[in-house]
Structure formats: C-alpha cells, structure tokens
Amino acid sequence: MPAAKRPRRPEPDGPPGFRVARDLLPGRHPLLEVFPGLDSLPPARRLEPDPERRARLFGETCVEVVDADMWMYVAPHEIPTEARGRWKPVVAPDRDCIVVGMDHLRESPAVMLFMDIYHELCHVRQRQGGANLWEPGVSYVKRWTEVEAYRFVVEEARSLGVADAFLRDYLKVEWISDAEHRELLHELNVPAK
C-alpha cells in the first residue's frame, strides 16, 4: 500500500536473530536474501508448523523491492477490481511475491519490518489456502484476513515487549478512518489512548 509517514515513537529492537538486507536495489529477490534466517525464527514455526510447508513458504516466496513510497503488500495475481483506476500494484501471476518500498526497507525500524513481513507472510498462507485477500465490498478492518494477520503480529510484538503506544501507531494506516482505527484496536485488544 502507498505509505505516509507513520508517527515515530521510541521503538524496541527487532527480535534476536532478525536481519534485514537494507541495501538491496529494486528488483525481485528471494525472501531469505532480503530477510536472512527469517525461516528459523520462532514466529516462522508458529506461522507454519509443518516443516515441509514452512520450507516451501520461505523458499518459494520472493520479495520485489520497488522505488516507491510504500510499505509492504502481497502482489496480486491480477489487478484487483478495487485497485483499478486508483492504484497500480505490482502483479505476480505465477508466484507468491511480497512487494516492499525501498525506503521502508532501508529506513524503517527493525521491529516494524519484522511485523510487516510476518503480516504479509500470513497473507501468503491465507491465499495459498484459498482466501481472497482483496475481497470486494468488505471494509479493510472487517476482512478476516487482515484481522488474523494483524493479530499474529501484535501477539509477536507483545512477546517482545512492544508498547501499546507503538502498536496504536503501527495500526494507524493511512487508508483507514479514525473510526476504523478504533475498531481495529478494539478487535486486537490494543487499548485506545
């Protein structure tokens, strides 16, 4: 999704062992080239308990670094109806690909990148299970796919000691209203201010 600057608060570090290749040029890269060792972190086993499926998830998913002002998203296999005329996403018809803005990769705090990449990997798993990530007519904060992915990363962040203030900022994305933000906070048990 296109990015606006999220408010900055003191952030905790990413978890032990989380690494990011921040200097990659635009283009497609293997997931584990961008995030070395991501598949061996504890959240990887929680995300996909089956070792063979986990190896495929982390081994076959790619990351496309783009020189654009954006966060991360799973590239659709074809342009979603809701995107037509308002946003031109990267499309990956033949594989699972996570798109990340180059500035986000280079400049964002490690904990934010940790949360974002696992959020998007949740979406890859959901889509592999048959979910429509771009369900038309359903509010972003009511899509079960979004709630499930956010719940996963909020739980992971809390296990690292991430403060509620950081989580509130993280969950305030520019494509939702203040009311939707409050709804998402409530759904994820993150206290509002």
Per-residue pLDDT tens digits for 43-71:
999 999 999 999 999 999 999 999 988 88
Task: Single out the residue of 152, 131, 147 nearest to residue 180, CA to CA.
Answer: 147
Report field, pTM of the whole predicted structure over 0.85? yes
Assess whether pLDDT exceeds 60 at residue 9. no
Q: Which whole number is the average pLDDT over 15-19?
A: 91
* Alpha carbon separation from 52 to 45, 55, 56, 59, 160 (Å, rounded): 11, 5, 6, 10, 27
Task: Single out the residue of 134, 40, 15 nearest to residue 81, CA to CA.
Answer: 134
Whether 154 and 75 have beta carbons less than 8 Å apart is answered as no
Strand locations in 53-169 (E): 62-66, 72-74, 97-101
Place of tokens 């496309």: 64
Highest mean pLDDT among 11-15, 132-136, 166-170: 166-170
pLDDT confidence band for 155 (50 / 70 / 90): very high
Return the minimum-mean-pLDDT range out of 4-8, 99-103, 141-145, 149-153. Answer: 4-8
Can you name the residues that pair with 32 across neighbouring β-strands? none
φ, ψ dihedrals at 48, nearest 5°: -140, 95
Place of tokens 């180059």: 102
* Alpha carbon separation from 99 to 115, 144, 150 (Å, rounded): 15, 21, 18
Q: Which whole number is the average pLDDT over 132-139?
A: 84
Can you name the residues that pair with 30 across neighbouring β-strands? 62
Assess whether pLDDT exceeds 80 at residue 13. no
Of residues 7 and 53, more confidently modeled: 53
φ, ψ dihedrals at 102, nearest 5°: -60, -40
pLDDT confidence band for 136 (50 / 70 / 90): confident
Report how far residue 176's alpha carbon sits from residue 139's, in angstroms, rounded to the nearest whole number. 9
